[in-house]
Chains A and B, each alone.
Chain A
Amino acid sequence: MSEPILSRNFGVPGSHRLATYVERGGWRTFRKALAMPPEQVVGEVKKSGLRGRGGAGFPTGMKWGFLPPTDKPIYLCVNADESEPGTFKDRYILDLDPHLLIEGIVITCWAIKSSDCFIYIRGEYESSRRILQAAIEEAYTAGYLGPNVDGKGWRLDVTLHKGAGAYICGEETGLLESLEGKRGYPRIKPPFPAVVGLFGCPTIVNNVETIAAVPWILEHGGEAYAAIGVGKSTGTKLWCVSGHVAKPGLHELPLGEPFAELLRLCGGMRDAGRPLKAVIPGGSSVPVLTAAEAMAVNLDYESLAAAGSMLGSAGLIVMEEGTDMVRALAVLTRFYADESCGQCTPCREGTSWVNDILWRLVEGAASPPDLDLVQGLCDNMLGKTICVLADAMVLPVRSFLKKFQPEFEAAMARSRARSAAATHA
């Protein structure tokens, strides 16, 4: 690709320092943005077609446009609670280019007329938190944050808020509850945060990677960004690749590149004797793809949807031939059972029941109606809860059962054989 947008400073020594970022052309575009009326900044982001990089893929400029006229404070909450299994892209931005994020925050807050930004960072990212806190302090010292941003007579405060270990706080209303000092129970929507958000005020919640794309869009224009990628999947994307590849890692690609190309960039499979078996393309909460489906798919929102999955958080977990899919799914259901916040009964009970059944299958202790029971439980979870955590378990469960059905049937047969042996012993 011609020019990386998000990862251009990643390989530069000391890239987390303000001085390095300035040497590389940073902390310049915000002046251009601050010279524009806020509505024009929103307009550029709308033109860019930038979509939320946290998982939902909602158009960012449109989200900003939902803010109602108000006398209340408007908040920007940056979601750095990166917890979707298989996802580690925001950690790279926080560690290696925190000033890109902070400059994006300044531009975004100007656009949405906010003077108060919170960055909610997961507690496990303590080393990243320290780097980001130091960068925020550098930005205050340079006058890019504080009571009089760059002498413009405009106040902007950025506060780093540390989470304490709860996947559900990555859900935007769970995040707001947590910021308010409560359990991270997601809220019923509507009202959406743009109308009633943090402390009852209009609030925009955006992912780290989304905000990090904003400086480039303002520097080069929304149309230039929209020219990258394919169709409604504009711009570039950070892809997180883990699992059975030769070189796991992070790659920035324009949206719409083939999965096969990303796999090649990762050195292919780690073991030539074990070809590709399956790929989870968008973090653990999206439907799994078979090898044939993955090798035919392009990496953009529409192509992944057409292939029956989702782009999600772009965390690709690659599995080789020989991977035990029953066990792999059990590992995933354990996550959702652990992380269900417990607020909605279908999710609290359903995630645990499905998880218990999956581990019974792994251990050869399942009974014949168990697979039907899983389907029934999924029916009673999908679309029946306040947030999408239940759906996020149902999608992988159903896709694993459908696409790797013989393995689940074989696991059930092992259970039956073990039970019969026990009866005749």
Chain B
Amino acid sequence: MTQAPNGGNHRASADGTSHRLSPAAIATLELLAPRYANREALLLPALWLVQDEFGWISEAAMQHVAEVVGVSPVRVLSVVTFYHMYHEQPPGRYNVQVCHNLSCSLLGAEDLLARLHARFGVGLNTPTADGRFMVQRVECLGACEHAPVCQVNDAFVFDLTPEKLESHLDALP
């Protein structure tokens, strides 16, 4: 797996022709292949590689993954749509995922979401006009001792208040 953050540099193109895995990513995948009894099992790892490289998974990328893994494109689509973390549209540069399950909700998750709505003026799952932020409500992130929590891309931010969350976002590069 590459170490590029989710929602990093998008190399989207209108015709989708650039949405092919880099030679390095293909090499990573082929290194992994002997561990699995068949190539179909490479589907989730391949989709992660796509998302790490492009920030999201376009239809062109799904077609490409279908060829690489050796399944039909509709099988790839069925998997992409099943899992919450695969983006079928470009997310913002910073994807702010606020947990709204019980432990976080008891300690103010709704206040965080209200503050983010006021700040960005866009709904959930919609990037801001400048493409910088997107807000998602997500289920339990497994850090309930630090509730309320969020993840910005793949990094946890713990023990939040609306003020603390805003200053965290202000400090992002």
Whether chains A and B associate is yes
Binding site for B on A (CB under 8 A): 73, 82-88, 90-91, 116, 122-127, 129-130, 133, 157, 159, 161-167, 178-184, 198-199, 201, 240-244, 248-250, 280, 284, 315, 317, 319, 323, 327-328, 331-332, 334-335, 338-339, 341
Closest to A123 in B: B85
Pairwise interchain contact A328-B84, C-beta atoms closer than 8 A: no
Known: A86-B102, A181-B69, A184-B82. A164 touches B144 (CB 8 A): no
State in angstroms the CA–CA spacing of A166 and B78 once bound together: 14
The 8 Å CB contact of B40, one of A129, A157, A180, A248, is A180
Which one of B22-30, B120-128, B147-155, B163-171 is at the interface? B147-155
State in angstroms the CA–CA spacing of A124 and B113 once bound together: 19
Contacts of B32-84 to chain A: CB distance below 8 A: 32, 35-38, 40-45, 47-48, 69, 71, 78-79, 82-84
The 8 Å CB contact of B106, one of A133, A184, A244, A284, is A244
Pairwise interchain contact A83-B44, C-beta atoms closer than 8 A: no
Question: Closest 7 CB pairs between A and B?
Answer: A165-B84, A181-B43, A242-B144, A164-B83, A165-B85, A126-B154, A199-B37
State in angstroms the CA–CA spacing of A179 and B84 once bound together: 16
B100 to A: closest C-beta gap in Å: 7
A184 to B: closest C-beta gap in Å: 7
Closest to A120 in B: B44
Contacts of B127-164 to chain A: CB distance below 8 A: 138-147, 151, 154-156
B13: Cβ under 8 A from any A Cβ: no
Pairwise interchain contact A88-B139, C-beta atoms closer than 8 A: no
Closest to A323 in B: B106
The 8 Å CB contact of A162, one of B1, B79, B100, is B1
Q: What A residues does B151 contact at CB under 8 A?
A: 124
Q: What B residues does A341 contact at CB under 8 A?
A: 82
Known: A91-B142, A159-B35, A339-B139. A86 touches B44 (CB 8 A): no
B3: Cβ under 8 A from any A Cβ: yes
Pairwise interchain contact A130-B101, C-beta atoms closer than 8 A: no
Pairwise interchain contact B147-A242, C-beta atoms closer than 8 A: yes
State in angstroms the CA–CA spacing of A86 and B145 once bound together: 8
Pick from A159, A243, A323, A327 the residue with the most CB of B within 10 Å. Answer: A243
Pairwise interchain contact A82-B142, C-beta atoms closer than 8 A: yes
Pairwise interchain contact A162-B44, C-beta atoms closer than 8 A: yes
Q: What A residues does B35 contact at CB under 8 A?
A: 116, 157, 159
Closest to A116 in B: B35
